[in-house]
Amino acid sequence: MAVSGVRMGVVGGSIAGCAMAIAGARAGADVTVYERSDGELQDRGLGIVIPPALHEELVTAGYLDASMDTAPVGTRVWLTRKPDGRTAHEFGRQPSAVVPCNWGMLWRSLRARAGDVRYHRGLPVTSVEREPSGRALIRTAAGAESYDIVVGADGHQSVTRRLLAPGLRPTPAGYTVWRGTVALSAFAGRPEQLELLRGAWVTVTFERGHGVFYLIPSARKESGGAGGERLLAYAVYGFLPAPAAGRREEAAYVRTLADEHFPAEWADVVARGKHLSLVCHPVTDFQAPRSASPPFLLAGDAAAITRPHTASGAVKALQDALCLERALRDSTSTDEALRRYADERTAEGARLVELGRRLGHAQVERTPEWHTMGPADVDTWSRAVLGGATSYLFGGPHRGADAEPPRGSACS
């Protein structure tokens, strides 16, 4: 028997917030979203990768528009710089099917599918409270509203999580990630690299760090074209020199890292390519001890953040939503639905935080001698790094359970 007709308030209207709003509405809830920002969220135009099976499920279930442009590829290529020069050495190639998306287009598609819910833009939630009746209160500058369920989808500094897990602090990894998007003009005169990226995503390794590169769809206004255009998205992981410089210097340091460690053609793209965006921040992780405590539940980054090597933050947020919809449909009370949700999603958050630490350790903190490795070594090393865990980013025998939507679980 389904839980329907309940009032559901959602704090945060980004990827997790919009996906949870769709889930609630599809299960028959009356949904209101509160988003602090009054700017254009679609302008956060960075790259996001998701597994093909999840993309397909979201389209089939009606969360995503089938016409949303993506840039799927099926292979992961491992490169490093030859020790005696600046040329690239390819030392591994693995099957790894991923669906790269433009973050802004993904948000816009979810937002459109959440079209019927009340979505308050520019209205920050100042606090969430438990009412004596067992319901939940959301306070904003516009007043206080009472709900049967409140979803905290308000990111890493969630006010909702502060209520459920006061004092929880992120654990720093000790290194930094730089994320950027670059116009494809950076590949002028380098057709081989561009051709490689049309069929694969690329990991460029170095001692105590690496970068990942992939193409994503470009929103029209970025390219000025008619659609179907691509941008290069990258994430580079490494250590800042101590003492840390100012924010501006920290962001620009990725150019130095690239020049020092990448093969010339990839260094040029990062160091001299025309950037449409560039951000950097310390890598951290954390997980709330439990993803729900009725009438509250946490979704996306508010519930858990894993180191980005797993490429799973948005994936998790989207799976959170699919889980909530199933739990609401299959339960007889909101308490039961939220308990089912918490059982499944807390375990998944813990799995991903652990996986992120394993990958960060092996790909940044204690890297192997990449230039001595060949294809068989990459497979052996991948297996050892995963230690029995699975990830959709490591193809072949390491293909993850997270490549498939979580079926047959507490929420199904």
Figure out which of the listed residues 148, 222, 301, 325 binds ligand FAD, where binding follows CB under 6 A.
Answer: 301
Helices (H), 95-158: 103-113
Number of Cβ within 10 Å of residue 22's Cβ equals 29
Distances (CA, A) of 410 to 24, 116, 348: 18, 29, 12
Stretch that binds ligand FAD, among 60-68, 151-159, 250-258, 394-402 (CB under 6 A): 151-159
Q: What is the three-class DSSP state of 190?
A: coil
**Nearest distance in Å: CB 273, ligand FAD:** 18
Which region among 61-69, 270-278, 285-293, 310-318 touches ligand FAD (by CB under 6 A)?
310-318
Spell out, one character per residue from 155 to 174, where the chain touches ligand FAD: x when CB under 6 A holds, - when not: x---x---------------
Among 308, 356, 360, 395, which residue interacts with ligand FAD (rule: CB under 6 A)? 308
Please list every residue from 68 through 127 that binds ligand FAD, using CB under 6 A.
124-125
- Site map for ligand FAD, 14-53, x if CB under 6 A? xxxx----------------xxxx----------xxx---
The gap between the terminal CA atoms of the chain, to the nearest Å, is 13
**Largest Cα–Cα distance in the chain?**
71
Show the site string, 347-366: x = touches ligand FAD by CB under 6 A, - = not: --------------------
- Give the Cα separation of 46 and 179 in Å (integer): 8
Q: How far is the CB of 163 from ligand FAD (least distance, A)?
A: 12
Could you give phi then psi for residue 118, rounded to 5 degrees? -70, 125
Which range touches ligand FAD (CB under 6 A), out of 150-158, 339-347, 367-375, 398-406? 150-158
What is the total count of residues that contact ligand FAD (CB under 6 A)? Answer: 32
Complex with ligand FAD: residue 302 or 378, whichever CB lies closer: 302
The H or E element containing residue 89 is: strand 88-102
Choose the stretch contacting ligand FAD; rule: CB under 6 A; options: 11-19, 52-60, 110-118, 363-371.
11-19
CB atoms within 10 A of CB 92: 21
Distances (CA, A) of 310 to 11, 113, 134, 249, 353: 25, 27, 37, 27, 9
Residues 6+ apart with CB under 8 A from 278: 178, 179, 180, 251, 254
Per-residue burial over 387-399, b if 16 or more Cβ lie within 10 Å, else e, is eebbbbbbbeebb
Cβ atoms of residues 348 and 299 within 8 Å: no
Rounded to a whole number of angstroms, the minimum distance from the CB of residue 126 to ligand FAD is 7
- The least distance separating ligand FAD from the CB of residue 251, rounded to whole angstroms, comes to 13
3-state secondary structure of 141: coil
- Enter the tokens of residue 66: 């089938």
313 part of the interface to ligand FAD, by CB under 6 A: yes
Selected range binding ligand FAD among 76-84, 154-162, 267-275, 361-369, rule: CB under 6 A: 154-162
Contact 296, 136 (CB under 8 A): yes
CB of residue 63 to ligand FAD, shortest distance in Å: 14
Segment contacting ligand FAD (CB under 6 A): 260-268, 308-316, 345-353, 403-411? Answer: 308-316
User: Which 239-278 residues touch ligand FAD, going by CB under 6 A?
Assistant: none
Q: How many residues comprise the chain?
A: 412
- In the block, residue with structure tokens 């350790």: 361
Give CA torsion, residues 380, 384, 388, 389, to 10 deg. Answer: -100
Rounded alpha-carbon distances, angstroms, from residue 142 to 34, 125, 128, 148: 11, 10, 14, 19
**From CA 264, how far away is CA 145, in angstroms rounded?**
57
Closer by beta carbon to ligand FAD, 3 or else 313? 313
- Residue at shortest CB range from ligand FAD: 313
Instruction: Rank residues 295 and 360 by Cβ distance to ligand FAD and give the closer one.
Output: 360
Residue choice 315, 321, 323, 359 for contact with ligand FAD (CB under 6 A): 315
Peptide bond before 295: cis, by omega within 30 degrees of 0?
A: yes
Decide whether 271 or 304 has the Cβ nearer to ligand FAD: 304
Taking CB under 6 A as the criterion, the residue among 26, 55, 179, 345 binding ligand FAD is 179
> Which of residues 50 and 362 has its CB atom nearest to ligand FAD in the complex?
50
Residues that bind ligand FAD (CB under 6 A): 11-17, 34-37, 48-50, 124-125, 153-155, 159, 177, 179, 235, 300-301, 308, 311-315, 317
